[in-house]
C-alpha cells in the first residue's frame, strides 16, 4: 500500500522523538515554567526576528480555536475562506471556544480569501449594527485548504483591510512550513511583517508527533490566551516534552527541509501528469497537496493498485505528499495514473 | 536540590517513551482510527473486565472537564469536594466545557465528600426547582486532593445516593493508580463496579509524559464525548503516539509498580516523622502526598538544605513523592526535618 | 411623516394593552404558575388542535435562539436560509445560546430554503464525520425575510428531508400570522401537521407590545427548554402580564385580522405599482413587506415627500406595512412613487 | 387568602401600566432608538446625579447575569454572598452568560458579604495563578437575600477591597428601592459614589410589571453590554413600552413611596411579634422581608387561617410584604401568629 491519504497518517521525524526522549532528565517545574519552554521562547523569537510568545498545544484545532478566542469578543465575526479548515473540519471549535463567535465565509480562489470580497463583506456590517455582531478577525489559512499559497501582497492586502476596521489577523499555519518553503521568504515576512497578530504554527502535518503551537506576535493577546489555554486543558504539566519537540522541529532548518521534500514530491507528480488526458488539477499545486478531478473508474484502479487517498466526491480525489514520501512512491503514482487513464477502465466511464 | 514539589515535575517512565518511539513506523489513519488505538480499547477493556471506550487526552483538566460536559446538561449541578481539583485548580474548565454547569462544593474529611453531606446537599434541590439548576453528577477525586483514598464502600455510598436521583458518577483519577495501589482492589472494583460512569484516568502524575485518558463505562456517554473531544482540540491526528504511551503505562503492571513506589516513599516519610515534635500531618498519608503543618522557620531550613516543595500557607507544606524518588532522598528529608525541628531555628518560631 | 420602516415601529393593538391592564388584579404565583398562563396553555392547545406548551418570551431573538438551543446539541448544525433572521440579524444569538451550534446557510428563492439544496447540503455531512459537527435542525422562516411565504408542500418537503436524518424542525414565525393569513390554512397545518417541532410565535410585529412566545409541539423539548428559559432571564416573575397579552392577541381572531390588514395593504401597493417603469419587485409580495429595486433618486424623492423606509442598498428599499397602516397612507405611497418615477429626478439617474 | 409569598405575586402599580398604555401613540424607531428611551437616559442620569446608561431588560436574572458578563472575562471569578440570588436562584445564569465565569461564595452576616472574609478570599488567589481563574467582580445584593441592608460604609469597604485588585463592583438591586428607603440616602450614594460600576435596577418586585433595568455607571462597560443584550434577546423592538414603565416607576418618587410602604409593613409585623414566645427573627428586618423561625405546627395553623407564605425549611418561614399589602393584612398576620403561638397547637410541637 502506498499512502497518500493525509499528512497525519505519517511518521514523525526521528529527530523530534529523539529530542523528546532527551528531555527526560532531571526535574522541572510544570505547566511551562521549565527551561525547555523558556528556551523555546528565545528560539522562536530569534526565528521570527521579534519577541514572540510560544504556547505548545496538542492540536491544530486547539491552536486555531484558542487563537480566535483570544482575539475575542464572543460576539465577534471571523472572516475566513469558505474552504477554511476552521469552517469545514473542526466541529465549530472556533464558535465553541469563542463563546458564540461566528464564522463568515468569504469567496475566493482555491481556498484563499479574495481581498475584494473580504472588503465587500466587511463593508456590509456598519459600525454600530449590533444585530449583526462585530467584525473581529480575519483567518488566513497558509497554505490554503486547497493546497495553494497566499503571496505576501495578498496577505498584506487582507491585513490592511482588516486593520482599517480594527480587526485582528489570525493565520492558520497548519502547513506554515510548506507555504514558507514555497514562497522562500522569512517566517517574519510571512507573519507579523505582513500584519499577522497570532499564528497557529503547525508541526504535526510536517513531521511532528504530538504538538503544534500558537505563536503570538501581538502582546495584547498573551494574557487572555494563557488563561484560556489552561482552562482548555491545553497546558501540559510536563510541558518540557512538548517544547523539546518544537525545538527539534526548527533546529538546523529541519522543518523547512521536511516541507521542501513534501512540496517537491507534489510538484513532481503534478508536472508528470499535466498532460494526462482525463485528469484535471482542481487547484495549482503550491504546497504538498494535489486535488485532482479524475474519473471514478480511475480511482477504483488506483485503489486496486494499492494506493490510498481520499475521495472528496465521485470525481475529486486528494493526494497528500508527506515528508517521508519516496521518489519510488511518487513514480509509482504517476505510472499508475498514466496507465489507468489510457486503459479500457477509463473508456468505461 | 531534592524535588518534592509535584508529581509533574518528574521524568517520564522510560518504558513509556520507548513505546512512543517504537510506534513511529508505517502509516496509520488519523484521529484515533489507527491500530494502536484499537488495541488500546481491547487492552483497557481487559484491564477493567468490561467493554470500555478509552479516549487519550492531553491533560487531566481536559479529562475532567470533558467527562463532565459529556454527562451534561449545561445547566447541571456537579457535586464535588470543596478541595476537588476541578473546584480549585482547573480555571473552571468544567464550567466552561460544560456550557455553564455549576460546581457545588460539599464538605467532608480530607478532600473527600462526606456521603451524608452529599445526600443533604442533594435533598436541598427538589425536582422541578428550575431556578436552582438540575443535579447532574458527583465528582469523586480518587486519590483526593489531600492525599487520602476513598474506601470502596464510600464510593458506593456516593454512587447510590447519586443514582437514586439520576445523577452520573465521575471519578477524577489523576492519581487512580496511587489509590488502586493503596486499596489493593481491582480497577473494576474501584470504578464501574462501584458505580462510576466515566473516569479521568491519570498517567502523567505517575510516570506518564504527554497524555492522560478518559475511560467511559457508560456507553450512553460515548457519542457526545467523541464529538466534544474533537471540538475541544483533544483528538490528536497522530493518535498512535498517545495510545502507545497508554499501552506501555499499563503493560506488565508498570503503572501499579510506579504507584507503589511513590506511595511507599510517602508512607516511609510519614512513619519516620510521626513522632517529631512540631510537625503534624494534616491528613492521613494514603497515597503519594504528604500535607504537613510545619513551622515556617523549618520550611526555611528545608529550603536551605536544598529541598523543593510547595508552601500552601505560612504553616502548611506539601511534599509529593514521585515514582522516581530514591530512598536516599526520602532519608534526606526525614533527617532534615528531624534536625530542623530539634534546632534553635525552631525555637525562634 | 408616513412610516414604512418596520413592523416594530408601530403601536400595539389596543386590545392587547387592555388585556394587560385587566390582568392587574389579585395575587398570583410567579414564573408562570399563574392562572393566566394556565389558560394560555389551553387556549393555544385548542388553537393548534393538539396539546402544546407555550412559553411567553420577551423577543423573537430569544424565541429563536432558545428554541434551537432546546433542540441541541451544542455541536449541532442548523440549516437555514442565507437571508434568515437568525443568520443575519440576531447577533448570532443561536450560536451563543446553542453553546457553539453553527448555522449552515442554504440557498433558495426569496429568503426561503430550496428543498433540493437542503438535501444536498445535508448529504455532504455523513454520519460519523465528527469534524463537521452533527446536523441537528432546519430553521424555516415563515414568512421569509424577503416577504414570501412557504407553501405547505414546501414545508413538508423540508421536514421530510430533515426527519429522514433525525433533524428537528424549527419555524421562525416572527410573521406567522401574516403567513397564515396568506395561506388561509389552519395553524396546525402550517406547523406540526407539516412537521414543525417547535415554533417561534411572533406577536410583536403584528400588533403585540412586549412579548412573543415559543410554542412547543414536540414534548421531548419541553423540559430542557423550561430550564434554559429560566437561565436566560426570559421567565417573567409576573408572567400573567405577558400571558394576558398573548391571550388577547389570538382572541376572536384578532391576530389574523391584523395580519390580513397589513398583508392587504402591501398587496394593494404592489398591485398599484406593478406597471411603474423603473421599479422592480425583488420578491413576490406575499405578506406585509415590499422589497423594491428603485433608483436612489426616487428614494431621495420619497424621503422628501415624508416617507420613512429602509434603504437596504443604493437601489434596494424595503417598505413594511403595519397592522395600523391606513388606506390613505398606502395611496400616498403609490402616488408618490408614480410621480417620482415619471419625474425629471428619475431622468437624472 | 392573604398572600405573603413573594413580591412578585402582587399587582403592578397602576401608574406604571397607565404609562405603558399612554406610550401607545405614533410610530417610533425600534430597539431603544425611540424618544421614550432617550428620555429615560436623561431622567435616570438626573436621578443618579451622573451620566448613566440605562438598559431596560425583562427580568432581574437577565440584569444580573448580563451585568456580570459585561464585566467579564469569561474566566473571571465573581465573589458573592453564599445566600446571593445569583448563587442560589438563577439557574447559574451568571455562569452561562459569563461564558464559564465562576461564582465564589463568601460568608457573612444575614445574606451580606463580610468585608474581611472577602479580603481573605481575594488574597487566596495570587495574581498569575491562572489555574484558579482571575478575580473579576464582587456582587452586592442590596437589599440582601435575607432582607437586610448594607450600610454605605460596608459597600465602600467591599468596593475598596475590590478596586485594590482591579475588580469591578456589581450591585444586585432587585430590592434597590427597599434598601434606599431604609438608608434614606441618595441613589448616587448607594451606588456609584460607593464604588458601584453597574447596577441591576429592580422594579418588578416593587410594583413593576414586565421590566427591570441595568444602570451602567462605568462607561467602559456600555458597548459590550449593548451587544450582549441584543444577543441575549433582551432588547425589545418596541422598547418604548418598557422605557415608559421605568419612567413612571421613578416619577414623583413613586418607587420610594412603594418601597416605604412595604418596608413599613414588614417593620410593623416584626415589631409586633418581637415578644411572642416560640418565634425568632432569623435576620433583622430591614427591608420588606421577614425570615422567621417558627414551629411547623404554627405554620400549619397559619395556612389554615388563610395565609400564604414560603416554607424554607421545616422551621423557617419567609413572609414578604408587597407595596399593596394593607394594614388589615398585617394586623391579621400578627393576630394569628400571637394566637397560634399561645395555642395547644404549639404545645404539640
Using one digit for the tens of pLDDT, what is the confidence trace for D285-337? 999 999 999 999 999 999 999 999 999 999 999 999 999 999 999 999 999 99
Phi/psi at C126 (nearest 5 deg)?
Answer: -80, 150
pLDDT at B346 over 70: no
Contact criterion met (CB < 8 Å) for C73 and B224: yes
Smallest CA-to-CA distance from D4 within D258, D260, D254, D269 is with: D269
Contact criterion met (CB < 8 Å) for D231 and A99: no
pLDDT tens track for B228-277: 999 999 999 999 999 999 999 999 999 999 999 999 999 999 999 999 99
Provide the angle, in degrees to the nearest 10, between the axes of the packed helices C222-231 and C60-71. 130
pLDDT at D346 over 60: no
pLDDT grade for D344, boundaries at 50, 70 and 90: low
Looking at chain B, list the stretches that DSSP marks H as alpha helix, in order from N- to C-terminal side.
14-22, 35-47, 60-71, 85-88, 93-97, 115-123, 152-164, 176-183, 187-190, 222-231, 240-250, 254-272, 296-304, 327-342, 344-347
pLDDT tens track for A172-220: 999 999 999 999 999 999 999 999 999 999 999 999 999 999 999 999 9
For range A245-265, the mean pLDDT = 98
Q: Tell me what the pLDDT averaged over chain D comes to.
A: 96
Tell me if chain B has a CB within 8 Å of the CB of C278.
Answer: no
Provide CB contacts within 8 A for B248, sequence distance 6+.
Answer: B13, B15, B16, B18, B19, B20, B254
pLDDT of C344 reads 57
For range C99-109, the mean pLDDT = 97
- Is the Cβ–Cβ distance between B60 and B212 less than 8 Å? yes
pLDDT grade for C128, boundaries at 50, 70 and 90: confident
pLDDT at A223 over 50: yes
CB atoms within 10 A of CB A106: 25
Nearest to B12 among A9, A241, A242 (CB): A241
Q: Tell me what the pLDDT averaged over chain C comes to.
A: 96
pLDDT grade for D343, boundaries at 50, 70 and 90: confident
Q: Measure the CA–CA gap between C64 and C199, rounded to whole angstroms.
A: 8
Tell me if chain B has a CB within 8 Å of the CB of C99.
Answer: yes
Phi/psi at D318 (nearest 5 deg)?
Answer: -115, 135
List of chains touching C (3+ CB pairs within 8 A): A, B, D
Looking at D58-114, list the stretches that DSSP marks H as alpha helix, in order from N- to C-terminal side.
60-71, 85-88, 93-97
Smallest CA-to-CA distance from B53 within B242, B253, B256, B213 is with: B213
Strands (E) across chain A are located at 2-3, 53-57, 76-81, 102-106, 134-141, 168-173, 198-201, 212-216, 280-281, 289-293, 307-308, 310-313, 316-320
pLDDT of A344 reads 57
List of chains touching A (3+ CB pairs within 8 A): B, C, D
Interface test with C, best of A61, A68, A96, A316 (most C CBs within 10 A): A96
A209 vs B contacts (CB less than 8 Å) = 20, 24, 238, 241
For range B320-335, the mean pLDDT = 96
Tell me if chain D has a CB within 8 Å of the CB of A99.
Answer: yes
Which C positions 115-174 lie with beta carbon below 8 A of chain A?
A: 130-133
Q: Nearest-5° angle of CA D196, CA D200, CA D206?
A: 125
Tell me if chain A has a CB within 8 Å of the CB of B30.
Answer: yes
pLDDT of D348 reads 47
Q: What is the distance in angstroms between the Cα of A120 and the nearest Cα belonging to chain B?
A: 30
Which C positions 57-76 lie with beta carbon below 8 A of chain D?
A: 57-63, 65-66
Which B positions 301-330 lie with beta carbon below 8 A of chain A?
A: 308, 322
pLDDT grade for A343, boundaries at 50, 70 and 90: confident
pLDDT of D345 reads 47
Q: Measure the CA–CA gap between A64 and A50, rounded to whole angstroms.
A: 21
- Is the Cβ–Cβ distance between B15 and B254 less than 8 Å? yes
Nearest to C238 among D8, D30, D62 (CB): D8
List of chains touching D (3+ CB pairs within 8 A): A, B, C
For range B24-50, the mean pLDDT = 97
Phi/psi at A111 (nearest 5 deg)?
Answer: 80, 0
Provide the angle, in degrees to the nearest 10, between the axes of the packed helices A327-342 and A296-304. 130
Nearest to A92 among C88, C90, C102 (CB): C102
Provide the angle, in degrees to the nearest 10, between the axes of the packed helices C296-304 and C327-342. 130
Q: Give percent of chain B above pLDDT 90.
A: 97
Contact criterion met (CB < 8 Å) for C132 and A75: no
pLDDT of D349 reads 46
Pick the residue with more confidence: B347 or C167? Answer: C167
pLDDT of C22 reads 98
Q: What is the DSSP letter of D332?
A: H
pLDDT of B344 reads 57
pLDDT of C346 reads 47
Q: Tell me what the pLDDT averaged over chain A comes to.
A: 96
Phi/psi at C214 (nearest 5 deg)?
Answer: -110, 130
pLDDT grade for D128, boundaries at 50, 70 and 90: confident
Q: What is the distance in angstroms between the Cα of A225 and the nearest Cα belonging to chain B?
A: 13
For range D167-186, the mean pLDDT = 98
Provide CB contacts within 8 A for D211, sequence distance 6+.
Answer: C210, D56, D57, D58, D203, D204, D242, D245, D246
Classify residue C210 by burial, with Cβ atoms within 10 Å: 0-12, 13-18, 19+: buried
Helix, strand, coil abundance in chain D, percent, nearest 5: 50, 15, 35
Q: Measure the CA–CA gap between D105 and D114, rounded to whole angstroms.
A: 11
Q: Measure the CA–CA gap between C179 and C269, rounded to whole angstroms.
A: 18
Provide CB contacts within 8 A for A341, sequence distance 6+.
Answer: A276, A277, A278, A279, A295, A298
pLDDT at B73 over 60: yes
Classify residue C316 by burial, with Cβ atoms within 10 Å: 0-12, 13-18, 19+: middle
Partners of B56 in the β-ladder: B213
Query: Which residue of D lies nearest to C228 if distances are taken between CA atoms?
Result: D91
Nearest to D132 among B89, B99, B133 (CB): B89
Q: What 3-state class would DSSP assign to B137?
A: strand
Tell me if chain C has a CB within 8 Å of the CB of A102.
Answer: yes
Q: Measure the CA–CA gap between B270 and B285, rounded to whole angstroms.
A: 7
pLDDT at C349 over 50: no
Amino acid at each position: 500500500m502506498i499512502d497518500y491519504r493525509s499528512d497525519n497518517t505519517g511518521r514523525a521525524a526521528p529527530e523530534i522523538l529523539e529530542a523528546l526522549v532527551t528531555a527526560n532528565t532531571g526535574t522541572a517545574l510544570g505547566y511551562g515554567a521549565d527551561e525547555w519552554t523558556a528556551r523555546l521562547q528565545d528560539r522562536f523569537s530569534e526565528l521570527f526576528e521579534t519577541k514572540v510568545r510560544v504556547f505548545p498545544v496538542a492540536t491544530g484545532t486547539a491552536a486555531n480555536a484558542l487563537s480566535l478566542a483570544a482575539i475575542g469578543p464572543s460576539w465577534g465575526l471571523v472572516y475566513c475562506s469558505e474552504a477554511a479548515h476552521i469552517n469545514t473540519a473542526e466541529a465549530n471549535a472556533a464558535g465553541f471556544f469563542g463563546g458564540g463567535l461566528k464564522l463568515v465565509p468569504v469567496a475566493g480562489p482555491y481556498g484563499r480569501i479574495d481581498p475584494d470580497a473580504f472588503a465587500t463583506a466587511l463593508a456590509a456590517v456598519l459600525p454600530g449594527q449590533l444585530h449583526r455582531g462585530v467584525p473581529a478577525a480575519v483567518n488566513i489559512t497558509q497554505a490554503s485548504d486547497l493546497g495553494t499559497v497566499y503571496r505576501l501582497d495578498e496577505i498584506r492586502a487582507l491585513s490592511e483591510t482588516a486593520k482599517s476596521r480594527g480587526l485582528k489577523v489570525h493565520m492558520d499555519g497548519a502547513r506554515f512550513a510548506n507555504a514558507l518553503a514555497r514562497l522562500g521568504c522569512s517566517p517574519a515576512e510571512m507573519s507579523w511583517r505582513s500584519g499577522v497578530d497570532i499564528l497557529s504554527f503547525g508541526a504535526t502535518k510536517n513531521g511532528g508527533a504530538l504538538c503544534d503551537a500558537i505563536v503570538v506576535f501581538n502582546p495584547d493577546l498573551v494574557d487572555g490566551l494563557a488563561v484560556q489555554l489552561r482552562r482548555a486543558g491545553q497546558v501540559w504539566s510536563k510541558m518540557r516534552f512538548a517544547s523539546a519537540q518544537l525545538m527539534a522541529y526548527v533546529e538546523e532548518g529541519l522543518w523547512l527541509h521536511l516541507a521542501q521534500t513534501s512540496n517537491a514530491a507534489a510538484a513532481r507528480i503534478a508536472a508528470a501528469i499535466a498532460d494526462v488526458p482525463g485528469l484535471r488539477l482542481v487547484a495549482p499545486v503550491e504546497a504538498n497537496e494535489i486535488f485532482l478531478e479524475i474519473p471514478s473508474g480511475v480511482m477504483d484502479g488506483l485503489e486496486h493498485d494499492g494506493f490510498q487517498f481520499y475521495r472528496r466526491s465521485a470525481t475529486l480525489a486528494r493526494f497528500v505528499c508527506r515528508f517521508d514520501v519516496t521518489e519510488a512512491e511518487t513514480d509509482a503514482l504517476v505510472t499508475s495514473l498514466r496507465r489507468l487513464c489510457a486503459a479500457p477502465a477509463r473508456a468505461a466511464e
